[in-house]
Structure 1
């Protein structure tokens, strides 16, 4: 009888073996000796997954080739196989597991680690009620942590539910991929679209989320507006800017002028006085500790590095015993970690060459919470502090990640950043203007970081003034425009996946959304983005994520099915999967049954919905690898009748299309290209409810500026606007035009 320790990969097995008193490397395993073990003990390993789900053709020959008639693909049971290149190692592992009376699962401490271990044990037919199953659950590969973990092994069956969760996720993803991919590919081929299209339970809503954001950006119409600004000058010639309080926006100059007249003021210089001064001392705590997703987002923001590269580098630092386990969703540590970090402060401080002394030596809720740490705590440095020589040998990305995590962890012990916030209130008649200034007093934890590594509060030095002091105030009208949403970066996309598409811009707001499970898991989101790249659904240019032509086609095809595109619905699925993992009432059979019902629904609805879709000839391309076009989104979903119509009825041409040089004519309520639908160029017939004249249209078609006269506001005040046409056929405001 023997004890077998099952590691996830060779490097992990080697670290375990090196932690024990003696080890002997054999073919595919280690034989080890240590006072911890009284029986013969072996460490063996997989290469990640040693077993995988079989392809559909294994179950039935009719599923070998894609055919709409052969769908759905619903096996009665789900069978696993060993890939040819892993059979040799699996044979070694299976033999050791069968002979063992105690199996210690020592794969990565997460759902996928459980899936890897138990799928190997099950396929090796090594699961038995007579065997003793234990679980090694550690956050570091340091020798001390490994020995401590083996001294405190947990019941292996306790975590078996995580295996059921991961296996359920794996089977459901397989079902949607094996059914959805041929369904949409074949239906699209019937519409003249070549190439193959793959679907995924998480992959597809993520793609659609990017598609929606891009659509909003490309179809955003900027709206001009005006604000009132103030430049304040003292008798000593000191000047500073101020903003109207409360803030007010004006759609026209007429509205702004009317407002100022009502307040007995006007554009230009007039007298004012300082009505109030408030100075408050404030403190700012150091940044929260890193989870994997927040680390990926921050590294992408700082260095434009992909989440997948960040995970790979963080994993390598974990295996080098420099960082704790990286695949964590928690920004908290427990008191145990806080204590060992506190005991190592001198070493961290010496490496960082920091002269500021730690003062925050008791746990604070912002960072330390035993109840909020479930599977893994935040990513922090290990007790082993790297030497400068070894640090210099790390790859640049590894250096960036290690330093950022070390600084963020050490900053938790440093004094808060302290600053004085001064608000000066200036009155002009009944108008109130405010100016906010920020003066650093105690740099505290900020001394650790470069200016680009942390969010800096705007520092504005203000002149010395007194309440009641007379000042000169110059009021001005500031022209601005509403701005479209920002394109996703890979970093912000990770955050959006974690919050199920809920838009949050700051760390605190993300914390409030921690109950939302998001789409994907902490460890799989980066891989989802990489899959979208490999499938050529998205491209990354200058760190901005854009949807390719192929991605747009798929999104147009799937957007009639909310369950395929809804990030919130996918998040609910993830929530149910976690119930399985936590033994909170969810079952594998129930979840898979619901996935099968959903697929049955798709088989009925997708062919019908696809009939109403029309794709332009430019989209019907080999493998859908067209150059990316920003204006290729359809503005409407035309019916078949609309798609067939060429609209070549007699009408007066007003000019030539800027895109294809065909004639442009007035259609029902817009101007359009005579080459529709091959060319989808359009121009609206009205601007701000004012009908365009033929002269306006002719000028816009030639990309010239033109003046639209007699535009009315809600208050029935008229004005003239100078406009032009951008590359997307959108009329853009340039300036107000004086009336003649």
Structure 2
């Protein structure tokens, strides 16, 4: 018997359907001829807690740190024991074994750690699937490879999991222990991902709190040209007092010029007119969807993830949602017209969009080279009936369907004009836009665009009709929301100064993964580090105090980039895990040694009154995280990877 172990039930079903013959459903697996297909449920195993290595580690003590296992252990997750038993029983009957985890680092780890934990000694083959359409799965079954080729990928993922354990367990214990000395009765969790995310919010809040507004002045003039009138803005020269963004800080020059302008004559000094063609926005990844759903419908990142899981598992309306990809396989071009017709027929909004779509178009979204472990979110083709879903589920589904439908609309085409004028030896600027081809834009907004400029000819005369000076005031940055914090995690390189580190972060998935980012935000809320105020996410006194008590390197994202460089070397078989782990242990000795209860106490005191307190829900979470109840207990990792 050949046994195929898939990463998740949906993948197992797709494999079974692509095999020749009818699949028979068994308890925890599917049988098709001489092949059985079973599955994991995300990670079936997790890193063992410290006391599994030595019972002395159950009480939290400073002199135990850093805890470094000599021989690493995995233990079954409590809810996974049943499926693990199924896989164990099927392995005993198997002659051939096929690893069918997702074709990425975590997918390689997730299935292979089960195979090794259960003691399989025979050869293993590798099935790589990134498109669940039946023809694509059937082709993948015809090109199964030797799993040994992907062993370095497994070692890299395994090293990342162990490194996150070392980092999270040791720093969490160290700061919890000094927290007790500083009078805080609760766990102070620290992690490679969650702590830099908290650091982003703390620093943004401090920018807002310490922001000192100041006035600046703008001057505009109504100008008459041959084809009509327009509004142009004065560009003050460097001889005036300007801020770093070129804004005028002294009203007097603007007032003087405004008094002289009415009736003044000048000319159009330059006209730059360009036709711009903008392709439709790509289909959604999970994070991109979370950003848009937060902005358009006020949904939290966690709410969007939960809605997507229901649309995928319960309603079977969308493809696998925990995807970091915004592209679709080229093969989908053949099946999507029928799927969209079926999906959209019972909804007025979607059927209206579908009626105007041109299924003969092919957008940049269909690109096999850019499809990784998963493709972008898309409708499955099952009819969408809004009345059978909650309002929020229907809202999210329409967003997903809209972005796929947009691929069958023409590009948005506009004529953009930028013009400069000279009056009284001063420069003025104006810009405008003319809509040429609306393309996909009507699916996304009904807002009126600003009026275009009248036709302009370089060198033609112009005359100022009136002018006015407006006083404005600088504004602090906006506090983070679910949408902007998810976007910051996706684009974390923007918050890094070192160009080499920034480059590495641009090439990776940022902080967290599609599957974990929402959970990171919720974890920070549950642990009283953040609180929601309306839509804003603000750091609490505890969150501010923790960040200020930690070494700066712990609360910034650079470590993720440095780890990624080392892990990529392991994944490409160019480096070994041992030197990376050894260096981490040395770093941990220094970091643990820097834990200072007086510094933490001072940081918590300084944060008093500067940050909002946590709400009732968070306070309930704090009680469950008492260090006495949590001693030695390892937090469960996410389905794919750790959110520490």
Using the TM superposition, give the Cα deviation of residue 502 of structure 1 relative to its aligned residue in structure 2, in angstroms. 0.6
Q: Is the 8 A contact 1:231 1:240 kept in 2?
A: yes
Q: Is the 8 A contact 2:493 2:503 kept in 1?
A: no
Using the TM superposition, give the Cα deviation of residue 12 of structure 1 relative to its aligned residue in structure 2, in angstroms. 5.0
Q: Is the 8 A contact 1:5 1:43 kept in 2?
A: yes
Aligned to 2:401: 406
Aligned to 2:221: 230
For 1:512 and 1:379, locate their aligned partners in 2 and report how far apart those are by CA, in whole Å.
26
Aligned to 1:5: 4
Using the TM superposition, give the Cα deviation of residue 175 of structure 1 relative to its aligned residue in structure 2, in angstroms. 1.2
Q: Is the 8 A contact 2:130 2:375 kept in 1?
A: no
- Decide whether aligned partners of structure 1 residues 373 and 145 sit closer, same or farther in structure 2, where only a CA change above 3 A counts: closer
Using the TM superposition, give the Cα deviation of residue 199 of structure 1 relative to its aligned residue in structure 2, in angstroms. 0.8
- Pick from 291, 299, 322: which aligns with 1:305? 299
**Is the aligned partner of 1:494 residue 2:486?**
yes
For 1:586 and 1:296, locate their aligned partners in 2 and report how far apart those are by CA, in whole Å.
36
**Is the aligned partner of 1:210 residue 2:204?**
no
For 1:313 and 1:627, locate their aligned partners in 2 and report how far apart those are by CA, in whole Å.
26
- Decide whether aligned partners of structure 1 residues 151 and 393 sit closer, same or farther in structure 2, where only a CA change above 3 A counts: farther
Deviates more, 1:54-63 or 1:103-112: 103-112
For 1:395 and 1:200, locate their aligned partners in 2 and report how far apart those are by CA, in whole Å.
36
For 1:625 and 1:420, locate their aligned partners in 2 and report how far apart those are by CA, in whole Å.
48
Using the TM superposition, give the Cα deviation of residue 598 of structure 1 relative to its aligned residue in structure 2, in angstroms. 1.2
Using the TM superposition, give the Cα deviation of residue 204 of structure 1 relative to its aligned residue in structure 2, in angstroms. 0.9
Aligned to 1:167: 158
Aligned to 1:195: 186
For 1:377 and 1:335, locate their aligned partners in 2 and report how far apart those are by CA, in whole Å.
11
Show CA shifts across 1:269-326 (max 9, x none).
Answer: 3333553666554332222343332222222222222233333433444456644443
**Is the aligned partner of 1:443 residue 2:438?**
yes
For 1:575 and 1:136, locate their aligned partners in 2 and report how far apart those are by CA, in whole Å.
25
Q: Is the 8 A contact 1:207 1:551 kept in 2?
A: yes
Aligned to 1:483: 475
Gaps of 5+ in 2: 238-245, 497-501, 616-644
TM-score by length of 1: 0.71
SS at match of 1:592: helix
Using the TM superposition, give the Cα deviation of residue 42 of structure 1 relative to its aligned residue in structure 2, in angstroms. 2.4
- Decide whether aligned partners of structure 1 residues 5 and 108 sit closer, same or farther in structure 2, where only a CA change above 3 A counts: same
Aligned to 1:266: 259
SS at match of 1:195: coil
- Pick from 308, 325, 343: which aligns with 1:330? 325
Using the TM superposition, give the Cα deviation of residue 426 of structure 1 relative to its aligned residue in structure 2, in angstroms. 4.5
Structure 2 matches for 1:345-364, cutoff 5 A?
Answer: 352-353=351-352, 354-356=354-356, 358=358, 361=361, 364=364
TM-score by length of 2: 0.81
Show CA shifts across 1:457-489 (max 9, x none).
Answer: x42245678874553432222111222122222
- Decide whether aligned partners of structure 1 residues 93 and 278 sit closer, same or farther in structure 2, where only a CA change above 3 A counts: closer
Q: Which has the bigger relative contact order, CA under 8 A and spacing at least 6?
A: 2
- Pick from 289, 296, 299: which aligns with 2:290? 296
Question: Number of residues paired by the alignment?
Answer: 592
Gaps of 5+ in 1: 34-38, 505-509, 629-740
Aligned to 1:473: 465
Aligned to 1:564: 554
| More helix as a share of residues | 2
Aligned to 1:590: 579
| More strand as a share of residues | 1
Q: Is the 8 A contact 1:519 1:574 kept in 2?
A: no
Give the root-mean-square deviation of aligned CA atoms: 3.6
Structure 2 matches for 1:286-685, cutoff 5 A?
Answer: 286-319=280-313, 322-338=317-333, 340-341=335-336, 352-353=351-352, 354-356=354-356, 358=358, 361=361, 364=364, 367-381=365-379, 384-389=380-385, 392-423=387-418, 425-451=420-446, 458-462=449-453, 468=460, 471-502=463-494, 514-558=506-550, 561-581=551-571, 583-607=572-596, 610=599, 613=602, 615-616=604-605, 619=608, 626=613
Of the two, which has the highest radius of gyration?
A: 1
For 2:508 and 2:83, locate their aligned partners in 1 and report how far apart those are by CA, in whole Å.
40
For 1:543 and 1:78, locate their aligned partners in 2 and report how far apart those are by CA, in whole Å.
42
- Decide whether aligned partners of structure 1 residues 399 and 161 sit closer, same or farther in structure 2, where only a CA change above 3 A counts: farther
